[in-house]
A and B are shown apart, each in its own frame.
Chain A
Amino acid sequence: MLMLKCPYCGVMADETELSAGGEAHLKRFGPQSSAEDFEGYLFARENPKGVHVERWRHVNGCGKWFHAARCTLTLEVFGTYSAQVTAPPQDIRDAIRAKHPDWRWRDMA
């Protein structure tokens, strides 16, 4: 069973209280973007066997969206963090790199 701590209400929420929102930190390409960029925004997703950064919503709870970093292989959760950021914060990166020193996410340093 997957449990994530909602950073907004502090509840340790069971998966059935949550709604998955797919890959985190996507950059939006809308009107005036190239066809390749628009296609990538709509369809191209990371699908690692390993560390993944995701959006989740505490839907049967406080209702807020938040971010989570976890491992798709072991289900280890590295942490949850605010929705109001465009990249994983340092403490989350540190937690991931403690286990996966070479971890990178797309083009983020």
Chain B
Amino acid sequence: MSEVWQNQSALPGASATGFARVDEIGLRGAIVLRGDLSSSAVKNVATGIGGVDMPGTLGINLVEERAVAWMSPDELLLMMPYAEVDVALGQIHKTLEGQHYLAQNVSDTRAGFLVSGARAREVLAKLTPADVSPDAFPKGVVRRSKLGQVPAAFWLNDEGDIEVICFRSVAQYVFDLLANAAKAGSEVGYFSIPD
């Protein structure tokens, strides 16, 4: 029953090039972890799996394919290689047994895109009410907001390299939005480009 969508990302290989590039990122492991973020057990298991320090409010810490993102005062998104999710989830359940928490594998319910290029910020700025200026949206910040009509979250992997996640059911819509906003000739030039 599950072969159709498991082990395959939402839009494998989808890619568009304009004044910025848009690429689907492919499969990645993702776990929603909800609980008391001040509890040391929650912190330890999150940072252990994410391989990075605990982020503060609106923070994301990442290294290669791993990340811990602050999603709300009681929610983290843990990211890791797709093949490692089951082991990580088992580790969470084992560590937090008896505590008030929720952990859910959401790898196959999300889609991810990379928006790259010196004007990558501009692609996002056309689509979201969130402030994506360099001051408000530097590396290390994750924003949950909207792209067009749907919820999405985004952060910088590096300057000119923005990662976007959304629900898998709206992957095509979000890809089309991003590709359209990145069309060559539609640059606005609002943000100054870093050297």
Contacts and interface: CB of A to CB of B under 8 A. Distances in A.
Contacts, number: 36
A63 B58 CA distance: 13
A14 B71 CA distance: 18
A70 B78 CA distance: 37
Q: Is the interface of A mostly helix, strand, loop or mixed?
A: loop
B129 A9 contact: no
A62 B131 contact: no
Contacts of A11: 58, 130, 143
Interface string B61-92: 00000000001110100000000000000000
A63 to B, nearest CB: 5
Interface in A3-17: 8-14, 16-17
> For this complex, into which size category does the number of interface residues on chain A fall?
10 to 19
Interface stretch (B5-13, B97-105, B144-152, B179-187): B144-152
B57 interface: yes
Contact of B145 (A10, A60, A63): A60
A86 B65 CA distance: 44
A11 B151 CA distance: 15
Nearest to B152: A60
Contacts of B71: 62
Interface of A: 8-14, 16-17, 60-64
6 contacts: A8-B72, A10-B58, A12-B131, A14-B129, A17-B146, A60-B146
Given A62-B75, A64-B72, 15 more contacts: A8-B72, A8-B73, A9-B58, A10-B58, A11-B58, A11-B130, A11-B143, A14-B129, A17-B129, A60-B144, A60-B145, A60-B146, A62-B72, A62-B144, A63-B72
